[in-house]
A and B are shown apart, each in its own frame.
Chain A
Amino acid sequence: MQTLEAMNVFVEETGGWVASQLEACTRCGMCAEACHFYQGTGNPEYAPVWKLELLRRAYEQRFTLTGKFKLLLGIDKRISDEDLDHWSEINYYACTVCNKCSMVCPMGIDLGPLLHGVRAGLAAAGKVPDDLMVAVNKQIEEGSPLGMTSEVWDSRLEWVADDWDVVIPRDVKGADTLVVFSSIEVMKFPSNIAAIAKILNKAGENWTVSSKAREVVNFGFYEGSEEHTKLFLQRVLDGAKELGVKRIVVTECGHAYDALRWLAGNLIPEANDFEITHITGVLGELVGSGRIKVKPGFFDENDSGTITFHDACKIQRRGGYIKEPREVLNILAPKSFKEMTPNREEAICCGGGGGVIAIKAADPMRYAAFELKIEQVNKVGATTVTMSCSNCRLQFTDGVEHFNLDWKITGLAQMVADAMED
């Protein structure tokens, strides 16, 4: 029965866009070479093409004569419950939908959205890892996977405003910009909230946060359920509408930006009424134009060693904010900033995105993938790693602890705020 649920979704979502790409695959296996989970563990089942196999088989069996023929002759079998269980594991435990595979496919197949398509079917069949579903349900009920209810949010913001002595405008009707934080920042990296508030206030931005739209993280997106993805997006849009803003700024979170900027407009038309941007872009603009003044070479001074930048999959490779971090870091730390290799759109994923970090059973894979990052950072000899995504920051922080490393992990907004001239 569950199989039919999955098949139904696969059939519904397979249009020309999906089908022409599934048809283009030549089984060359190149995508595996790009996948950090395969590289880290050596498990061939983590090859992205294999993760997609469920969707491809569904397409072949339902939409092609070859597929029907193969079923008839017993060359292929109908997709079973066991298949769903197995593919759930390889898709949710060992994929962050980082899209690096898309970059190396000789055919140019855009695997990211296709992998989301697999998750959609699995979600409809209820084959989502428990840990992840718990988080999804929490977001449905409490507004945030980390349980950041209205009350918790309120008190956290009060505390940040107080402790860091910043003004955080709340629910200001008629403001230009709505800033939506992620609960990861609010709950785990509260200094980031203060940093961003400080920067925006100094720049004279007419901004606000919204209690309705208090959570930018979208666990429905990780789950793959279109219904839940839309639900969480709608909350953000409702907050924006209520306050009458023109622009929505997503703070340091990756997948949230991906969902809001590139998906929302096709799911919920009113999303296109707003300009949607990422804080990295705002930072680049503010620093570059001189609207906020920073001390050049601020991070070179205290001789803190090499600083390197980790490109976040959804902000750099899938977001396009590639030059802004470099511009900023070349001002803040012209001597200490060194790029790791590969970087920019070719960067290796941290291993914690896509919901992976929320799934306990996926820890071994996640740490195996992280070892690739360790190798990169060590090769460039960095002792500080900075980034523009707080989920990456969570993964790096956890990784540093797990592997007993002595790196400093920070964020771009934090660095800008620290270097700001008063």
Chain B
Amino acid sequence: MNWNAFLEFVRGPLFQVSLLVFVAGMLYRLVRVLMLGWSRDNVPSKGSKGGGVVKSFLKSILIWPFIPWVKRTFSKNPVIYLAGGLFHLALLVVLILGTAHMLVWKSLLGFGWATLPLPMVDWMAAVGIAAMVALLIHRLVNPVMRLISGPSEWANWTLVFLPMVSGYMLTHHMFFRYEVLFSIHMLVVDILLIWIPLSRISHFIFYFFARTIHGVEFGKRAVNP
């Protein structure tokens, strides 16, 4: 198996194709939803809609993994909050604040930015992987999760997990030569890019819709979202 040639393929033409499919697919989904129409809200507000939106986003980003009142409400399942929150934090740290990925963004966007030292990023990556494992176990064991999870959910987990693990192995030169690990990492990333517009992973776009709607609905009622 000529791993060097394969690496050039998955880093080169396949990556380009995946990126194009990702762009086209995401825009397709966005436009398709937008075109279903939006109606005006004619009812006068009690509180501030804008304020509600701001609070809604802040709650989601800053407080989400650490909501104390949530813990009070749901002492049942703190693991899912921690695992979900830490997973997303790890994603942010590794994909945006990690030097290796920042250089990828730089080549695509034309500008880069300051990044964190490798040990910090590495540690977060390990935390992210552990969080993913916890989330998988939860989805396999919890009765609600078993009911609502279908093939799409299992694919989501796998296609997100593989880049994380292969990336970690690549950074640490574990078991295989770099061209093998780099190829696998790029291959699963390419597959993930194609899968995103076909799956619920595209929630990162619709998050903005739902979060804004949430802020508006609670803000207009003068209730903290």
B106 within 8 A of A: no
The answer to whether A28 touches B42 (Cβ under 8 A) is no
The answer to whether A109 touches B210 (Cβ under 8 A) is yes
Please, how many angstroms separate the alpha-carbon atoms of A307 and B81 in the complex?
Answer: 33
Interface residues of A in 45-62 (CB under 8 A from B): 45, 47, 49-50, 53
**CB-defined contacts of B153 to chain A, threshold 8 Å:** 27
The digit string for B2-41, where 1 denotes a CB below 8 A from any CB of A, is: 0000000000000000000000000001001111111101
The digit string for A9-48, where 1 denotes a CB below 8 A from any CB of B, is: 0000011111111011111111011100011001011010
**CB-defined contacts of A42 to chain B, threshold 8 Å:** 143
The answer to whether A269 touches B39 (Cβ under 8 A) is no
Of the listed stretches A100-108, A127-135, A158-166, A326-334, chain B binds: A100-108
B101 within 8 A of A: no
**CB-defined contacts of A261 to chain B, threshold 8 Å:** 43
Interface residues of B in 181-217 (CB under 8 A from A): 198, 200, 202-203, 206-207, 209-215, 217
The answer to whether B214 touches A265 (Cβ under 8 A) is no
From the candidates B36, B211, B224, name the one contacting A108 in the complex (CB within 8 A). Answer: B211
Given contacts A23-B206, A318-B221, whether A110 and B70 have CB atoms under 8 Å apart is no
From the candidates A20, A103, A345, name the one contacting B206 in the complex (CB within 8 A). Answer: A20
Q: How large is the interface on A (under 10, 10 to 19, 20 to 34, 35 or more residues)?
A: 35 or more
- The dominant DSSP class at the A interface is helix
Please, how many angstroms separate the alpha-carbon atoms of A102 and B211 in the complex?
Answer: 10
- The dominant DSSP class at the B interface is helix
**CB-defined contacts of B175 to chain A, threshold 8 Å:** none
**CB-defined contacts of B149 to chain A, threshold 8 Å:** 27
Please, how many angstroms separate the alpha-carbon atoms of A25 and B33 in the complex?
Answer: 14
Chain B residues within 8 Å of chain A by Cβ, number: 58
Please, how many angstroms separate the alpha-carbon atoms of A322 and B47 in the complex?
Answer: 13
**CB-defined contacts of A272 to chain B, threshold 8 Å:** 42-44
The answer to whether B74 touches A33 (Cβ under 8 A) is yes
The answer to whether B142 touches A29 (Cβ under 8 A) is yes
Cβ-closest chain B residue relative to A281: B46
Given contacts A272-B44, A320-B221, whether A17 and B203 have CB atoms under 8 Å apart is no
**CB-defined contacts of B137 to chain A, threshold 8 Å:** none
The digit string for B137-151, where 1 denotes a CB below 8 A from any CB of A, is: 001001111111101
Cβ-closest chain A residue relative to B148: A27
From the candidates B64, B72, B198, name the one contacting A66 in the complex (CB within 8 A). Answer: B198
A43–chain B nearest beta-carbon distance, Å: 9
Given contacts A23-B29, A107-B203, A108-B225, whether A341 and B214 have CB atoms under 8 Å apart is no
The answer to whether B224 touches A24 (Cβ under 8 A) is no
From the candidates A38, A106, A271, A346, name the one contacting B73 in the complex (CB within 8 A). Answer: A346
* Interface CB pairs A-B, < 8 A, 21: A15-B38, A15-B39, A17-B213, A21-B206, A23-B33, A24-B209, A25-B200, A27-B153, A50-B148, A103-B225, A104-B70, A108-B214, A109-B214, A110-B214, A110-B217, A262-B43, A272-B42, A272-B43, A341-B72, A342-B73, A346-B72
* Known interface pairs A14-B36, A23-B209, A47-B147; 9 further A-B residue pairs with C-beta atoms within 8 A, sorted by A's residue number: A16-B209, A20-B206, A21-B213, A44-B144, A63-B36, A102-B214, A266-B43, A320-B221, A320-B223
Considering the complex of A and B, which 10 residue pairs feature the smallest CB-CB distances, nearest first?
A108-B214, A265-B43, A20-B209, A24-B206, A320-B222, A24-B210, A108-B211, A44-B143, A44-B144, A32-B144
